[in-house]
Chain A
Amino acid sequence: MTAFSKISTSFKPLLFPGAKESQNPPILGLCRLYCVLAICAALLISACFYVNSWLWKEITNAEVFRKGLYGSTQLSRFNFLLNWLGLLSLAGAIIYGFKIARQASIDARRNAQLLQETKQRTMEIAALYATLQDVSEKHELRALLQTMLERAKSLLAASGCAIFLFDRDHNDFEIAVEVGVGMPIGTHLPRSEGLGGRVAETLAPVIVNDYQTWPYRSRVLGQLPIRAAVCVPMIRGGELIGVLGVHEVGGTNRVFTDADAQLLSIFADNAAGAVHTARLLETIQHSEERFRIAAQCASDIVYDWDLVGDHVDYFGALFQKSRAVLPKTRQEYWNLIHPDDRARVEQALHRHFETGTPFSEEYRIGDGKGVYANVADRATAIRNQKGNPIRLIGSVSDITERKHAEQMKSDFVSFVSHQLRTPLSGVKWMLELAMESIESPEELQSYLQDARMSTDRLIGLVNDLLAISRLERGKLQLTFRDLDLAELTQDIVNEITPLSVEKEQTLLVEAASDLPRVNGDAQLLRQAVLNLVSNAVKYTPLRGKIHIQIGREADRVLWSVKDTGIGIPRADIPKLFSKFYRAANVLAVETEGTGLGLYLVRLIMDRLGGKVWCESKEGVGSKFLLSLPPAV
């Protein structure tokens, strides 16, 4: 509606150029005068006729005729006067009649001309209105500019049109769209140059009807065959958005008028708003796109919480995966946070709202079914003009795995440091006691022995840990060669024999004669065998039996150690080869184990392409088996 009233006020000067308001046209005056004269003439002549007829009656009276008094009576003189007056009036009336006719015809001609012009203007206005309708419907910038181009061109019935957009960043004009003379689209023109420059400076329309000789013509565009041009500014809210120009090429005689400039101005004024909006929309779309791509790439869930309306929107790839779980209102969200963490998070958020301290908290959040995940939440509040927070935008990452890994690492570190420190303290104290008992050789011997055993334990532990660490990270330097498993086993058994003798155990090794060699790293294989054999000795009581068998089975080499030890509870068997795992019943025998021995064996077997497993019965004994591919 405002547009329409704007249009109508703009158009009044077009419809009535140079007209003065409420002026009585001259023909009215003429008509009045004519009426007066005509009435006078009519009155006088009719009076004259009346007097004449009365006189005629008198004339017929013979006396008057005989005396020849016709011409001398007063009445006849009066009649004479009336006659002449009447004739004068008549003449006047006739003259004015002609004047009226002439004026009328002049007026008629002028009216016809005005009507023609009005029709023309009305058509132009209709076209303009249609154009603006058209333009206001287009929101996409390029389409909008293209439409404007065509409409402006047809509005002025010219051969070319161009729109330059003002680039605020570079303070110059960009040739956005053009038709007619082939301007280089996308080129930037300095703000001060050419027609655009003049318009930008004056913020008023500029007409140049002889462009080629115009001293201020643009260097870039001066080469083009532009003969005449009219250019108007597009202003919105007091700011220059760009300029709109219509041009005529050489070879035509068209001259642009003020009326043309005015028409174009009206068009430009109304189109400026649309252009501004379209540009804003473009910027917003770019932003949105960038944001969406970023949110997709991030492995976080991005959220946008409307604090006023209490509604949360989520974005991001992670969100799309876990759609079902996320709460829609802030209260729901609070409820899902682990009760122990709630107060802290709430406080941190409050602090952020009050003082702007960055909000970055790690907490646990549940899925409503008691399972909690660790998340890291970083957010920033967006404030209104009063400084009150109205929106909170943040991202949430799932750090459960990281926390878990951190926890495991921390547990491992404290476990290892404890496991290492224990034998070290043992050595230290034993040596201290040894120093105090120098006088007593027996005691001295015992303490030194204990110190040595502690040291051995320490060395064993360190070796295990190093091997595991390297195997886990795949950093071990291995030398694969063909090995004789029987020979290797015998070596180990020889090492272990003192211990088994001490426990009065029977240790037997049985190897098949046609045993094929196996391909592997000697050191690793030794470690595996050692761990299994020493376990057997350790967990078998006094006078127990340990039987090692090595043979082939199908296409594999099978190695096994069977003992009559404490066995393994059924519940522990599945987890036996896990890191740090110790079965429930080993503590009765030995509290010093690390739970790493079997884990290491498993790692080694994986690396060598073999397998390890266990058969056991609690209280009866255990059998551990290794299977390896034979060397080719």
Chain B
Amino acid sequence: MKNACILVIEDDKFLRKACEVSLKKRGLTVITAMDGEEGLRQARANGPDLILMDILMPKLSGLETLEALKKDEQTRSIPVVILSNSSADSNIQKAKALGAAGYLVKASLSLQELGDRVLSYLKGESASNHE
């Protein structure tokens, strides 16, 4: 959906920049955060339609942030897609268990593919909203 707002929580500045630029090119609004704490703040303040989040982050880790997001009334319904560089099965399982909507591995995705996946997650959400 156009004009949907995506929150990107990523500690690496190049990756963050790349996501932002690429998603903006697709016509989406992008807000960014450098770590979990800031991400929570942004999520509560701006109510994005989708959150893209890394797992390995300083201070609050991705999984801890995910847990906090799902616990919070305000942010519970926002779909969270994990965008990580770890393909460890244990991480995938944990994320799914905590309620992540999806799990993507950065190193195996091109920006184009990333954009496609984000859009399809958004469509899927709107589809389920219309049910």
Q: Please list the residues of chain A having a beta carbon within 8 angstroms of any beta carbon in chain B.
A: 414-415, 417-418, 421-426, 428-430, 432-433, 436, 450, 453-454, 582, 587, 591-592
Extra pairs beyond A426-B18, A591-B12, A592-B11 (7, CB < 8 Å): A425-B85, A426-B12, A432-B110, A433-B21, A450-B18, A587-B35, A591-B11
User: Inside 8 A of B12's CB, which chain A residues have their CB?
Assistant: 422-423, 426, 591-592
Decide if B44 is an interface residue (CB 8 Å cutoff).
Answer: no
Q: 7 A-B pairs, CB-CB below 8 angstroms?
A: A425-B85, A429-B22, A433-B21, A436-B25, A450-B14, A450-B18, A591-B12
Decide if B27 is an interface residue (CB 8 Å cutoff).
Answer: no
Q: Give chain A nearest CB distance to B24 CB in angstroms.
A: 11
> In which size bucket is the chain B interface?
20 to 34
The 5 tightest CB contacts between A and B, nearest first, are A426-B14, A429-B18, A421-B85, A425-B106, A591-B11
Cα distance, A423 to B15, chains bound together (Å): 8
Decide if B1 is an interface residue (CB 8 Å cutoff).
Answer: no
User: Inside 8 A of B106's CB, which chain A residues have their CB?
Assistant: 421-422, 425
Cα distance, A428 to B21, chains bound together (Å): 14
Cα distance, A430 to B106, chains bound together (Å): 13
B18, A433: Cβ atoms under 8 Å? yes
Please report which residues of chain B, range 60-90, place their CB below 8 angstroms from some CB of chain A when the two chains form the complex.
85-86, 88
A430, B18: Cβ atoms under 8 Å? yes
Please report which residues of chain B, range 67-119, place their CB below 8 angstroms from some CB of chain A when the two chains form the complex.
85-86, 88, 106-107, 110-112
User: Inside 8 A of A429's CB, which chain B residues have their CB?
Assistant: 14-15, 18-19, 22, 110-111
Decide if B59 is an interface residue (CB 8 Å cutoff).
Answer: yes
B107, A425: Cβ atoms under 8 Å? yes
The chain A residue sitting closest to B12, CB to CB, is A422
Please report which residues of chain B, range 19-64, place their CB below 8 angstroms from some CB of chain A when the two chains form the complex.
19, 21-22, 25, 34-35, 56-59
Q: Give chain A nearest CB distance to B15 CB in angstroms.
A: 5
Cα distance, A454 to B34, chains bound together (Å): 17
User: Inside 8 A of A417's CB, which chain B residues have their CB?
Assistant: 85-86
Decide if B17 is an interface residue (CB 8 Å cutoff).
Answer: yes
Cα distance, A587 to B61, chains bound together (Å): 13
The chain B residue sitting closest to A413, CB to CB, is B88
Cα distance, A433 to B110, chains bound together (Å): 10
A426, B56: Cβ atoms under 8 Å? no
Q: Give chain A nearest CB distance to B105 CB in angstroms.
A: 9
Q: Give chain A nearest CB distance to B23 CB in angstroms.
A: 12
Cα distance, A428 to B88, chains bound together (Å): 21
Pick from A418, A423, A433, A582: contact of B86, CB below 8 A: A418
User: Inside 8 A of A424's CB, which chain B residues have their CB?
Assistant: 107
The chain A residue sitting closest to B85, CB to CB, is A421
A432, B112: Cβ atoms under 8 Å? yes
B35, A422: Cβ atoms under 8 Å? no
Most-contacted residue by chain A among B12, B19, B110 (CB, 10 A):
B12
The chain A residue sitting closest to B110, CB to CB, is A432
A591, B86: Cβ atoms under 8 Å? no
Cα distance, A422 to B19, chains bound together (Å): 13
User: Inside 8 A of A432's CB, which chain B residues have their CB?
Assistant: 18, 22, 110-112
User: Inside 8 A of A421's CB, which chain B residues have their CB?
Assistant: 85, 106-107
User: Inside 8 A of B13's CB, which chain A residues have their CB?
Assistant: 591-592
Assess A433 versus B111: contact at CB under 8 Å? Given A414-B86, A422-B85, A425-B85: yes
Cα distance, A414 to B88, chains bound together (Å): 8
Most-contacted residue by chain A among B14, B34, B110 (CB, 10 A):
B14
User: Inside 8 A of B15's CB, which chain A residues have their CB?
Assistant: 422, 425-426, 429
Q: Give chain A nearest CB distance to B111 CB in angstroms.
A: 5
Most-contacted residue by chain B among A424, A428, A429, A591 (CB, 10 A):
A429
The chain A residue sitting closest to B11, CB to CB, is A591
The chain B residue sitting closest to A443, CB to CB, is B21
User: Inside 8 A of B35's CB, which chain A residues have their CB?
Assistant: 587, 591
Q: Give chain B nearest CB distance to A575 CB in angstroms.
A: 16
